[in-house]
């Protein structure tokens, strides 16, 4: 739309102005840190001037987290703020003040994920799932399935206590790893020692026989918070990753909810890059959002199950795989919401708005 407007603009000055506006918009993303100027603060909200990007709001759990910072602020004072949602509550930009100071570190982690560069980390603790390490001040997790072969504990399968004892021997060690998943909102940083080693020439040769878009049979060989690993049935030397966002069309909080180790599955190849293969389960499933308008309409009363709480409200799940959101503003705050709603319990809701093209259903409590 903006491109068409620019092309139709005959005034050079107007055309340049529109280009500048488009440039500002393109640089404005969730996760960005902006300079925010306090406009007004109340018991329930904080409003901030974001300059060219409009007006921001801090509320709910984020307001509680930023209580100390806001207490000493007066209208006109400036503070770094992280963008949590561009089109948030009442159309305002939803902000976080409590995490803005760490944003630079998270951005470094994101850059490492995208570049694939190796980074040194120091092992600080262990648990039965893997290793906790320090990465320039951020806490990173290295699952057991992502250890290099020489670091995988021997004969500890099924014996959690022995596994932990073996892993403890690594505390204080420095490892070379790759960043494979960064999620600042959930405070999750996943690293891999196994991925830091270059794929063998044999793996690259085997992968040359496959194409993007191809469907293959596989077996679940590993499960982590960020996704699942699939070993090809016809070529067990090949192991690919299904990112958590590619497991299902609905939000998945933990892959273990829907998949089991050793389970046989069919996956679609999304990408083959530098000897590694990226897969999807979702691509082989029917998307319930394509026909959502046939079943749901604004004003409908529907029964759904509370799936998850987040700082902005609750995710509600329906039997057909559709998920909706009821905003925290319906209750006044996080604690009030948790008094009215319980996880895994079903309630009646009213569909407030439905936007299939944005895969968004907004709900409110049935009065």
83 vs 1, which has greater pLDDT?
Answer: 83
Contact between 94 and 126 (Cβ < 8 Å): no
Q: Is there a domain that residue 322 lies in? A: yes
Which pLDDT value is given to residue 332? 83
Looking at the structure, do residues 207 and 186 belong to the same domain, yes or no?
no
pLDDT over 50 (residue 81): yes
In a domain, 20, yes or no: no
Domain-ending residue, one of 143, 162, 196: 196
Same domain, 130 and 88: no
181 shares its domain with 110: yes
Q: What is the pLDDT of residue 275?
A: 77
- What would the two tokens of residue 189 be? 């940083």
Residue 195 pLDDT level (bands cut at 50, 70, 90): confident
pLDDT of residue 6: 36
Burial tier of 342 (Cβ tally within 10 Å: 0-12, 13-18, 19+):
exposed
How many C-alpha atoms does 345 have within 13 Å on its Cβ side? 8
Could you list the residue range(s) of the whole structural domain that residue 306 is in? 289-365
What would the two tokens of residue 20 be?
A: 């500048």
Do residues 154 and 213 both lie within one domain? Answer: no
Does residue 254 have a pLDDT over 70? yes
What is the per-residue pLDDT for 141?
Answer: 93
- Residue 268 has phi, psi (to 5 degrees) of -105, 135
- Give the model's confidence band at 124: pLDDT under 50 very low, under 70 low, under 90 confident, else very high: very high
- Highest mean pLDDT, choosing among 13-17, 57-61, 112-116, 266-270: 266-270
> 203 pLDDT band (50/70/90 cuts)?
confident
Q: What is the band of 163 on the pLDDT scale with cuts at 50, 70, 90?
A: confident
pLDDT tens string 2-38:
334 334 444 555 444 444 444 444 456 777 778 899 9
Please tell me which of 33-37, 183-187, 272-276 the model is most confident about, judged by mean pLDDT: 33-37
Residue 26: its pLDDT value, please? 43
- Greater confidence (57 vs 89) lies with 57
* Residues 119 and 192 placed together within one structural domain of the fold: yes
Whether residue 24 is contained in a domain is answered as: no
Average pLDDT over residues 116-132: 90
Mean pLDDT of 30-56: 89
The Cβ-side half-sphere exposure at 251, using a 13 Å CA radius, reads 16
Residue with tokens 């921001």: 56
pLDDT value at residue 28: 66
> Quick one: tokens of 229?
């690993």
* Residue 171 shares a structural domain with residue 187: yes
Any residues with CB less than 8 A from the CB of 74 and at least 6 apart, and which? 38
Is residue 46 in a domain? yes
Domain boundary (221, 251, 284) is at: 284
The top-scoring range by mean pLDDT among 87-91, 164-168, 257-261, 301-305 is: 301-305
Question: By percentage, how much of the chain surpasses pLDDT 70?
Answer: 88
> For position 3, what pLDDT does the model report?
39
Give the mean model confidence (pLDDT) for residues 76-93. 85
**Final residue of a structural domain among 227, 258, 284:** 284
**In this structure, are 226 and 295 located in the same domain?**
no
pLDDT attached to residue 242? 92
Residues paired with residue 94 on neighbouring β-strands, in sequence order:
57, 85
Q: Please say if the pLDDT value at position 342 is more than 90.
A: yes
342 and 310 housed in the same domain: yes
For 227-230, which contacts have Cβ atoms below 8 Å and span 24 or more sequence positions?
Answer: 227/181, 227/255, 228/255, 228/259, 229/145, 230/265, 230/267, 230/279
Asked if residues 206 and 215 have their Cβ atoms less than 8 Å apart, the reply is: no
- Is 2 contained in some domain? no
Q: What is the pLDDT of residue 83?
A: 87
* Same-domain status, 53 and 87: yes
295 and 350 together in one domain = yes
Does residue 25 lie in a domain region?
A: no
Could you tell me if 209 and 152 lie in one domain? no
Residue 7 inside a domain? The answer is no
Q: Are residues 294 and 267 in the same domain?
A: no
Which of 2-11, 97-106, 121-130, 223-232 has the weakest average pLDDT?
2-11
Alpha-carbon distance 173 to 134, whole Å? Answer: 11
Question: Could you tell me the CATH number of the domain that includes residue 163?
Answer: 2.40.50.140
Q: In the predicted model, what is the mean pLDDT of residues 49-66?
A: 88
Count: domains in the chain: 4
The pLDDT assigned to 246 comes to 93
pLDDT average, residue stretch 178-199: 80
Return mean pLDDT, the chain.
84
The answer as to whether 26 is a domain residue is no
Q: Which of these ranges, 222-231, 242-251, 266-275, 318-327, has the smallest mean pLDDT?
A: 222-231
């Amino acid at each position: 739309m903006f491109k068409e407007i620019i092309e139709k603009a005959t005034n050079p000055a107007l055309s340049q102005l529109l280009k500048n506006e488009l440039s500002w918009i393109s640089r404005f993303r969730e996760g960005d840190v902006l300079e925010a100027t306090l406009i007004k603060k109340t018991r329930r909200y904080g409003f901030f001037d974001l300059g060219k990007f409009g007006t921001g709001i801090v509320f709910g759990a984020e307001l509680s987290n930023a209580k100390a910072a806001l207490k000493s602020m007066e209208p006109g004072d400036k503070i770094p703020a992280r963008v949590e949602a561009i089109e948030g509550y009442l159309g305002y930009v939803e902000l976080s003040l409590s995490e803005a100071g760490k944003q630079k570190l998270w951005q470094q982690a994101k850059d490492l994920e995208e570049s694939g560069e190796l980074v040194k980390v120091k092992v600080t603790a262990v648990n039965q799932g893997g290793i906790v390490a320090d990465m320039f001040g951020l806490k990173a997790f290295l699952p057991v399935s992502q250890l290099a072969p020489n670091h995988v504990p021997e004969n500890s399968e099924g014996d959690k206590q022995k596994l932990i004892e073996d892993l403890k021997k690594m505390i204080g060690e420095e490892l070379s790893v790759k960043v494979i998943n960064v999620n600042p909102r959930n405070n999750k940083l996943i690293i891999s020692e196994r991925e830091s080693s270059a794929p063998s020439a044999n793996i690259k040769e085997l992968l040359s026989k496959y194409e993007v878009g191809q469907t293959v049979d596989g077996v679940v060989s590993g499960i982590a918070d960020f996704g699942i690993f699939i070993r090809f049935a016809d070529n067990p030397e090949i192991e690919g990753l299904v990112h958590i966002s590619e497991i299902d069309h609905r939000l998945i909080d933990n892959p273990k909810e829907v998949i089991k180790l050793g389970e046989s599955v069919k996956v679609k190849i999304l990408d083959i890059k530098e000897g590694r293969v990226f897969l999807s389960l979702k691509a082989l499933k029917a998307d319930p959002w394509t026909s959502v308008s046939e079943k749901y309409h604004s004003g409908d009363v529907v029964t759904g199950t509370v799936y998850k709480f987040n700082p902005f409200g609750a995710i509600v799940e329906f039997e057909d795989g559709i998920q909706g959101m009821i905003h925290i503003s319906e209750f006044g705050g996080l604690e009030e919401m948790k008094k009215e709603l319980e996880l895994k319990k079903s309630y009646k809701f009213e569909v407030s708005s439905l936007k299939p093209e944005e895969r968004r259903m907004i709900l409110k409590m049935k009065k």
